[in-house]
């Protein structure tokens, strides 16, 4: 038998018993007086040491615990000593966990108790097993005292037994088809509320058995348990209990019959869908179930989920709020640009910029739009300076952040027409060689200076109420012979003669 008697452990047990001891009808201890004994005026029973009959203790092993008790008092006897063990990692056997010393212990006297125990099979090797021991005793006057102590024993792993040779089982191959969605795509990107689209699915059998009579159910349905089942129920496959709140089938039902899919075979399926107009932007999962049987008629249902992203793209109209121009090469012109929110919801936009790729430049071309209510508008009054004639494309770009916090840009093109540069007037406000303010069309001869007699005749005509305006010369061909024609015939001397005209109102 191996004994465990550490001095430090004994001191700890003595102190613990001293603190935990309590009396039903306790008496005050004698105060310590210098030069006198400090022994308490009561019996004090403590565990002096303990040991086991086994060198090692393993889970599920029986052993005997030996406990040595001592009355450390020098003047009081301890009677009817009872030691009780509480079950824990160490479980008492045979006695119910209670041992007694009926003869009692006199001052300084020791007594031994042996308790059959078993280590709990649930205890882990390499740990410490604990059990609580409670001692109860009386003094000569019948006063009861109690003390509690903790006993700890090391539990080790059981010795490894040599492994007996066993036959290696032969692996049995189980044929099991596995229909999965290996890829999917949409013909519309991005998806928006109220937008119809076609969902293209790539379905492949990744199992080691053929899948027969495969049926795809969008949204899932009753009986989609994701594993093997019995024979199909009468009435076909039910798929009406799926979730269609955000994506609903369009032009066809949510059930598609695929047929047989062999090992490693891939097939493609198209499911027309529409995004509900009440769907908010976000990521939504769509469930698909594949019901089929294998070669032995065993029914399988594989449930899978894909994710579709719904965006709320700003719906805006970019145009001119009034007719721009005209634009002339080399001369600045106003660009009255306006953006209008056509969406039913408010939107937040970033910078709006107007630019041209070639043939000109735009001034005052950038502005911040900000928040726009439904039906609201925002204007940008930019200035275009074209450098060449002909049609010119204006590129309007608007920056914003989408519902997944990614930067996006709206592009729009507006077109304007640039004309040739106008003829600049002379230094005095007219054309060179003409009168101030006079404009002569190309190819038209200059007007001859008015003579003195012409002025006199116009004055006389004005006095009698006739037209006294300056006669205008008209150029152009005159019949087959050519020449020129004027508003008044000329005399042989070359002096024009005014023609009589009716009086106004006559």
Q: Is 341 exposed, middle or buried (0-12, 13-18, 19+ CB in 10 A)?
A: buried
pLDDT at 336 over 60: yes
Residue 481: predicted pLDDT: 40
CA separation for the pair 275, 118 (Å, rounded):
69
Sheet with 179-186, strands from edge to edge, namely: 179-186, 196-205, 266-275, 247-249
Residue 400: predicted pLDDT: 95
pLDDT digits (tens, 9 = 90+) for 2-45: 444 443 333 343 334 443 443 333 333 333 334 444 556 788 88
Average the pLDDT over each of 88-97, 143-152, 402-411, 431-440 and give the range with the smallest value. 431-440
pLDDT at 335 over 90: yes
| List of residues 6+ apart from 45 with CB closer than 8 A | 17, 69, 70, 71, 72, 78, 81, 105, 135, 137, 145, 147
Which class does domain 316-419 fall in?
mainly beta
CA separation for the pair 395, 408 (Å, rounded):
16
Residue 4: predicted pLDDT: 43
Residue 66 CB coordination number (10 Å): 16
Mean pLDDT of 197-226: 83
3-class SS string, 319-350: EECCCCCCEECCCCEEEEEEEEECCCCCEEEE
| Residue 483 pLDDT level (bands cut at 50, 70, 90) | very low
Phi and psi at residue 383, to the nearest 5°: -125, 125
Q: Is 16 exposed, middle or buried (0-12, 13-18, 19+ CB in 10 A)?
A: middle
Structure tokens at 324: 């721009």
Chain mean pLDDT for the chain: 77
One of 1.10.150.120, 3.30.1360.70, 3.60.10.10, 2.60.40.10 is the CATH number of 2-155, namely 2.60.40.10
Rounded percentage of the chain residues whose pLDDT exceeds 90: 36
pLDDT at 464 over 80: no
CA separation for the pair 212, 38 (Å, rounded):
94
Mean pLDDT of 419-430: 61
Mean pLDDT of 427-437: 47
Average the pLDDT over each of 102-106, 125-129, 176-180 and give the range with the smallest value. 125-129
Residue 358: predicted pLDDT: 87
CA distances from 323 to 334, 355, 376, 417, 487 (A): 10, 18, 20, 12, 41
pLDDT digits (tens, 9 = 90+) for 6-15: 433 333 433 3
CA angle 187, 315, 384 (to 5 degrees): 115
Which class does domain 179-310 fall in?
mainly beta
Q: The tokens 């004698």 sit on which residue?
A: 30
Residue 427: predicted pLDDT: 44
Start and end residues for every CATH 2.60.40.10 domain found in the chain: 2-155, 179-310, 316-419
């Amino acid at each position: 038998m191996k004994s465990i008697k550490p001095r430090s452990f004994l001191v700890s047990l003595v102190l613990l018993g001293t603190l935990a001891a309590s009396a039903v009808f306790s008496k005050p201890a004698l105060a310590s007086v210098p030069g006198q004994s400090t022994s308490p005026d009561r019996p004090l029973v403590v565990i002096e040491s303990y040991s086991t009959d086994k060198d090692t203790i393993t889970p599920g092993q029986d052993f005997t615990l030996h406990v040595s008790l001592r009355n450390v008092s020098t003047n009081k006897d301890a009677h009817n000593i009872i030691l009780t063990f509480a079950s824990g990692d160490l479980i008492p056997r045979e006695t119910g966990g209670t041992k007694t010393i009926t003869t009692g212990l006199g001052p300084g006297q020791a007594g031994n108790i042996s308790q059959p125990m078993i280590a709990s099979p649930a205890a882990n090797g390499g740990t410490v097993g604990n059990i609580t021991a409670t001692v109860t005793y009386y003094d000569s006057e019948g006063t009861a005292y109690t003390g509690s102590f903790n006993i700890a024993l090391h539990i080790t792993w059981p010795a490894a037994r040599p492994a007996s040779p066993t036959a290696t089982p032969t692996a049995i191959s189980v044929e099991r088809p596995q229909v999965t969605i290996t890829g999917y795509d949409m013909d519309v990107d991005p998806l928006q509320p109220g937008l119809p689209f076609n969902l293209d699915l790539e379905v492949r059998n990744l199992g080691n058995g053929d899948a027969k009579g495969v049926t795809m159910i969008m949204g899932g349905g009753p009986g989609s348990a994701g594993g093997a089942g019995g024979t199909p129920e009468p009435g076909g496959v039910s798929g009406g209990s799926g979730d269609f709140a955000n994506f609903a089938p369009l032009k066809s039902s949510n059930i598609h019959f695929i047929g047989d899919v062999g090992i490693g075979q891939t097939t493609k399926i198209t499911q027309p869908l529409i995004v509900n107009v009440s769907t908010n932007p976000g990521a939504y999962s769509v469930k698909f179930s594949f019901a089929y049987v294998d070669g032995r008629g065993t029914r399988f249902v594989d449930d899978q989920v894909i994710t579709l992203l719904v965006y709320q793209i700003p719906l805006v109209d970019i145009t001119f709020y009034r007719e721009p121009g005209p634009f002339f090469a080399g001369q600045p012109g106003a660009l009255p640009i306006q953006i209008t929110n056509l969406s039913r919801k408010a939107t937040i936009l970033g910078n709006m910029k107007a630019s041209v790729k070639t043939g000109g430049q735009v001034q005052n071309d950038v502005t911040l739009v900000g928040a726009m209510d439904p039906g609201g508008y925002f204007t940008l009054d930019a200035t275009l300076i074209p450098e060449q004639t002909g049609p010119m494309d204006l590129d309007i770009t608007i920056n914003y952040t989408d519902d997944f916090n990614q930067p996006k840009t709206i592009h729009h093109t507006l077109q304007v027409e640039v004309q040739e540069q106008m003829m600049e007037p002379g230094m005095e406000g007219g054309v060179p060689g003409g009168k101030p303010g006079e404009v002569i069309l190309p190819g038209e001869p200059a007007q001859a200076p008015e003579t003195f007699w012409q002025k006199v005749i116009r004055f006389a005509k004005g006095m009698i109420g006739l037209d006294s305006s300056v006669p205008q010369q008209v150029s152009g061909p005159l019949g087959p012979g050519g020449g020129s024609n004027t508003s008044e015939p000329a005399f042989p001397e070359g002096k024009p003669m005014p023609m009589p005209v009716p009086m106004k109102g006559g």
